[in-house]
Structure 1
Amino acid sequence: MQFSAQEDIDVPIETVFNMVSDFERFERKALRRGVDVRRVTGSVVPQAGITWETEFKIRGKPRHIIIEMTECDRPSLMRFQSSSKGMNGDTVIELLALSQRRTRLRVETSLGAKTLPARLLLQSLKLGQSRFRRQFQTRLSEFARDMEERHLHGV
């Protein structure tokens, strides 16, 4: 299953990259939402090899996912591989400078199942695919507006 979203942001590409790679901020957000997230390897500087372990519940079942940044090309690309007991995922974050003050942010994710229960979970996601894609785009749009606000106010 693949899905993607993109958003144009009125923020320079370097600033967008810095905000997107602010891993400590994302870790704190995840913790507030009940996700146990722990950086296993790597520094705060975005680079290939940074790894996180996460635990959370989906449909009442605990899930353990390992996420690794496999590629980082500042300021235009970050790639993450994720794996769990039954699924693999690949997420690519691409940034494109449209002008000195405007950046296009594109996020593309693909998920693949390794087990029958994971295939069933993916199948249920596919059934609600249009709603899921809308939510994904909405969240990326909200994130983009938040970046514009933070940039505007120097946060």
Structure 2
Amino acid sequence: MKLTATEDLDLPADRAFALLTDTPYFERQLLRRGIEVTRTAEGAGPEDLRWQVAYKPVPQIDGADLWIVEHAPPGRLVMGAKSGGFTLDLVAEVTALSRRQCRLSVKAELSASGLRNTAALAALRLKAPAIGKTFSEQVGRVARDAERRARDRETAQATSE
């Protein structure tokens, strides 16, 4: 199953990429939503980061392993995730439209291995339009949140001067 979403941001591309790849911020956001996040590997660069995540209220769902495949500022982030027989590949690209605007394009591809998981994925494909809409809305929320955080930082810097 492939999902895509695109959002325009009123931020310079390098600033947007920095906000969108702020891993400590996103770890805190997941924890606030009841998702247990544990860093399982750290290293010199972003590509060395790995996480184990689990949704506490639903213990029947296996946790997922997440990792960064490619971190190429200011424009490309590739992440991978695996849970049970499912694999997710996520590609986020930030493209400069002007000095003060950029476009965030996110592509996700979910694949399955094994008969049971393939059947479950086939069932999900029946709901692809609704899932695609939710995916686009979530990417939009992340984009608006990045713009808000940028404005908050600018306001904080202006008041401290």
Return the TM-score normalized by structure 1: 0.90
Q: Is structure 2 residue 24 aligned with structure 1 residue 24?
A: yes
Q: Work out which of the two has the higher radius of gyration on C-alpha atoms and give 1 or 2.
A: 2
| Cα distance in structure 1, aligned partners of 2:2 and 2:28 | 27
**Unpaired stretches in structure 2, ≥5 consecutive residues:** 155-161
Deviations 1:112-150 (A, max 9, x none): 101223223312221111111111111111221222222
Structure 1 contact 92–107 (Cα < 8 Å) conserved: yes
Q: Is structure 2 residue 98 aligned with structure 1 residue 99?
A: yes
How far is 1:46 from its partner? 5.9
| Cα distance in structure 2, aligned partners of 1:58 and 1:121 | 21
Which contiguous aligned blocks of 4+ residues in structure 1 show a shift greater than 4 angstroms? 57-60
| Cα distance in structure 2, aligned partners of 1:50 and 1:3 | 24
| Cα distance in structure 2, aligned partners of 1:134 and 1:82 | 21
Q: Report the structure, 1 or 2, having the larger strand content.
A: 1
Q: Is structure 2 residue 1 aligned with structure 1 residue 4?
A: no
**Unpaired stretches in structure 1, ≥5 consecutive residues:** none
How far is 1:110 from its partner? 0.3
Task: Provide the identity percentage.
Answer: 29
SS in 2 for 1:134: helix
SS in 2 for 1:5: strand
SS in 2 for 1:88: strand
Instruction: Say how many residue pairs are matched.
Output: 154
Map residues 8-87 of structure 1 onto 2, 5 A cutoff: 8-42=8-42, 47-56=46-55, 61-87=60-86
AA aligned to 2:102 is T
Q: Find the counterpart in structure 1 of residue 157 from structure 2.
A: none
SS in 2 for 1:108: strand
The root-mean-square deviation of aligned C-alpha atoms, in Å, is 2.0
AA aligned to 1:21 is T
Return the TM-score normalized by structure 2: 0.87
Deviations 1:52-72 (A, max 9, x none): 111126977222211110111
Q: Find the counterpart in structure 2 of residue 143 from structure 1.
A: 142
AA aligned to 1:35 is I
SS in 2 for 1:26: helix
AA aligned to 1:126 is R
Q: Report the structure, 1 or 2, having the larger helix content.
A: 2
| Cα distance in structure 1, aligned partners of 2:59 and 2:99 | 46
Structure 2 contact 86–117 (Cα < 8 Å) conserved: yes
